[in-house]
Copies of this chain bind each other. A is one copy, B any other.
Amino acid sequence: MAEFDAKTLRYDANGLIPCIAQEAATGEVLMLAWMNAEAVECTLETGRVTYWSRSRGAFWVKGESSGHVQELVELRLDCDRDCLLALVRQTGPACHTNRRVCFYTAVRDGQEVELMSPE
């Protein structure tokens, strides 16, 4: 067992690490977004999952404007320390399209198939 230090994760050239959000209760993969070291620390300190928005270039406390917050259940890291898995309790839909998850499009027989509608 070692003390966790967000600075020891392996970030990309932009100082970011991908974080997969998974609903703790169902195992459903909700989304993938990015964190920098401060976002990782903030997520652990507040228990509210916080990403770095690459499009806005700003911290993004998930659900801050929509109310669709992610309460952290447990943060995990992978063998290479270059990817995170956040087990969460998601309030409302995780996707900005108002669908439950972002991965609502499947590839079946060479076609894109929509698996769920906005809530």
Contact = CB atoms under 8 A, between A and B. Distances in A.
Given A27-B27, A29-B22, A85-B103, A111 B79 contact: no
Interface residues of A, number: 40
Contact of A99 (B18, B79, B85): B79
Contacts of A32: 18, 20, 78, 83
Contacts of A79: 95-97, 99, 102, 104-105
B27 A77 contact: no
Given A20-B20, A79-B99, A102-B79, A110 B4 contact: yes
Interface of A: 1-4, 18, 20, 22, 26-29, 31-32, 44, 74-80, 83, 85, 95-97, 99, 102-108, 110-115
